[in-house]
Amino acid sequence: MLPHARLRLHAVVDTPLRLPDYAGSTLRGAFGGALRRIACMTRVPSCTGCPLLRTCPYAVVFESAPPAEGHSLQKFSEVPRPYVIEPPAWGAREWQPGETLEFSMVLLGRALEQAPLIVLAWQRALAQGIGPGDGRAQLLRVTQETATSEHRVFDTDDRNIQAPRIESVPPSTPPATAILHFHTPLRLQANGHALGAERVDARRLILALARRISLLAEFHGNGAPGFDFAALAKDAEALTETRKLSWRDWSRRSSRQQQTMALGGLVGEWTLNGDLSRIWPLLQFGQTTHVGKEAVFGLGGYRVSLPVSN
C-alpha cells in the first residue's frame, strides 16, 4: 500500500536517563527539535510563511498542513505525518550509565528519502539530552528487521548511513477470525471526544484505518489507493466482534500549547469474525501505521494474531 521501513535504534546511556510511563511524546519532541536545528535554513521562529516550506526536510517530515478545502475526506484536521515513534514498553523507568535504550521509528512514503537526516537527528537528540534531567546517550547502531533478515542502517564502527530497504505488506489469504492486541492506547473519537469500550465498534475501527492509510498514501506516497469506503463500512458492520478492552490513562505536556493534555485510550484484545477479505489488508498494514488519534506518538499500536487451532 505504501513503502515503509521500521528502524530499531540502539543507544548506550551516558548519564541517568528518565522516561515517563509512555515516552512517545517525549522522544518525538527531542527528535523534532534536533531535526529542526539540523535542517532549518532560514532560522525563522515558525514554519508558517517560510519560503522554503515545500522543500525543507524538516517540514516534509515533521510539520503538517491543514487539508485542502473540498477534500473528499473532510473528517481530518491535518495531514498525517509520515512516521510513527514506537517507544519502549509502557512503564516509567530510569536507565543508568552503560545500560541500553532501544526504541523504534517507522518511516512511511517520502520520509524514507530523509532516512540519513533522520538518523543524524536522533544521534544529536540523544547526545543533547532527553526526558526530565536531559539524560544523554550515544546512538550505537540502527537496524532494520525485514521479513528475511536484519539490515544494518548505521553503526559507530562505520559512520556511513545506509538507505533502509523499502518494505511492503505481502498479500496473504484472509482468515475467518483475526485478534487485534492493542498494546498502546487506542483513541477513536466522535465529536472531539475519545470513545470508551462500550462505544467503539468494528465499523469505526475499519474506517479510521482506511482514512489514515488513504491519507498517508495520498500525501506521502504515490496517491490515494481509492478505497471503497461504503463497501468497507458494510463489511465491517456485518462482522461479529468480541472486545476485551480497558481504559488506560495517559497525559502529556504540550510545550506548544502550554497545557497538559489527557490522551488515554483503550488497550486489550479485539476479535473480529466474518468476511475479512476486503478488510484484511488494512488490518495487516495497520500494524505498521497504527490507528486513531496521536498515532504519530505510537498510540493505537497493535499486532494481529490468529486463533490457535485445536
Query: Between 123 and 163, where is the model more confident?
Result: 123
CB atoms within 10 A of CB 86: 21
Per-residue pLDDT at 102 = 97
Share of the chain above pLDDT 90, in %: 71
Per-residue pLDDT of 188-241, as tens digits, reads 998 888 999 999 999 999 999 999 999 999 999 989 899 999 999 999 999 999
Per-residue pLDDT at 258 = 57
Whether 177 has a pLDDT exceeding 80, the answer reads yes
Per-residue pLDDT at 255 = 59
Per-residue pLDDT at 129 = 96
- Walk me through the domains of the chain, giving residue ranges and CATH numbers: 4-155 (3.30.70), 177-305 (3.30.70.1900)
Per-residue pLDDT at 170 = 75
Per-residue pLDDT of 231-281, as tens digits, reads 999 999 999 999 999 999 887 766 555 567 777 999 999 999 999 999 999
Per-residue pLDDT at 67 = 57
Largest CA distance in the chain: 63
Q: Tell me how far apart the alpha carbons of residues 156 and 141 are, in angstroms, rounded to a whole number.
A: 6
For residue 46, name the pLDDT band (cuts at 50, 70, 90).
confident
For residue 296, name the pLDDT band (cuts at 50, 70, 90).
very high
Per-residue pLDDT at 271 = 98
Mean pLDDT within 152-176: 87
Grid coordinates representing 196 are 470508551
Whether 305 has a pLDDT exceeding 70, the answer reads yes
For residue 73, name the pLDDT band (cuts at 50, 70, 90).
low
Per-residue pLDDT at 70 = 59
Query: Between 233 and 71, where is the model more confident?
Result: 233
Per-residue pLDDT of 137-148, as tens digits, reads 999 999 998 777
Q: For 47-96, what is the HEC assignment?
A: CCCCCCCCCCHHHHHCCCCCCCCCCCCCCCCCCCCCEEEECCCCCCEEEC
Per-residue pLDDT at 71 = 66
Per-residue pLDDT at 45 = 84
17-21, 60-64, 245-249: segment of lowest average pLDDT: 60-64
Share of the chain above pLDDT 70, in %: 92
Whether 92 has a pLDDT exceeding 80, the answer reads yes
Whether 75 has a pLDDT exceeding 60, the answer reads no
Whether 310 has a pLDDT exceeding 60, the answer reads no
Per-residue pLDDT at 74 = 55
Average pLDDT of the chain to the nearest whole number: 90
For residue 66, name the pLDDT band (cuts at 50, 70, 90).
low
